[in-house]
Amino acid sequence: DQQVKQNSPSLSVQEGRISILNCDYTNSMFDYFLWYKKYPAEGPTFLISISSIKDKNEDGRFTVFLNKSAKHLSLHIVPSQPGDSAVYFCAATVYTGANSKLTFGKGITLSVRP
């Protein structure tokens, strides 16, 4: 059972435009969410996170929005740059869980066209 779903496997946008990457989750216990970016032949790198007590968190060109009632979060990248082309993983966790493990989605491949 996929608890974190990234239903769109890929997204292509023009440089300078907005990229919106979506993520849905089913486990209502999740209260902390993260986005990771992964380039080929490298490990994932942390991008941005959000706690369930917030509905928005911003870091430069990256903003994550959380809609708890819909169990949905999205990552906005504005403006998109060719260097943003990568696989983006959404992850979720229970902040005070004994394991505190991250549950990842399958990833979305973002391509930013020059």
Partner 1 sequence: EAQVTQNPRYLITVTGKKLTVTCSQNMNHEYMSWYRQDPGLGLRQIYYSMNVEVTDKGDVPEGYKVSRKEKRNFPLILESPSPNQTSLYFCASSAGLAGLPRYEQYFGPGTRLTVT
41 interacts with partner 1 by CB under 8 A: yes
**Site pattern 43..82 for partner 1 (x: CB under 8 A):** xxxx--x---------------------------------
> Does the footprint of partner 1 cover residue 23 (CB under 8 A)?
no
Is 11 near partner 1 (CB under 8 A)?
A: no
Secondary structure (3-state) at 45: strand
Centre a 10 Å sphere on the Cβ of residue 52 and count the other Cβ atoms it contains. 16
- Dig out the tokens for 107 from the structure: 């990833």
Quick one: tokens of 73? 């979060």
Helices (H), the chain: none
Q: Site residues (CB under 8 A) for partner 1?
A: 4, 6, 32, 34, 36, 41-46, 49, 89, 91, 93, 95-96, 99-102, 104-107
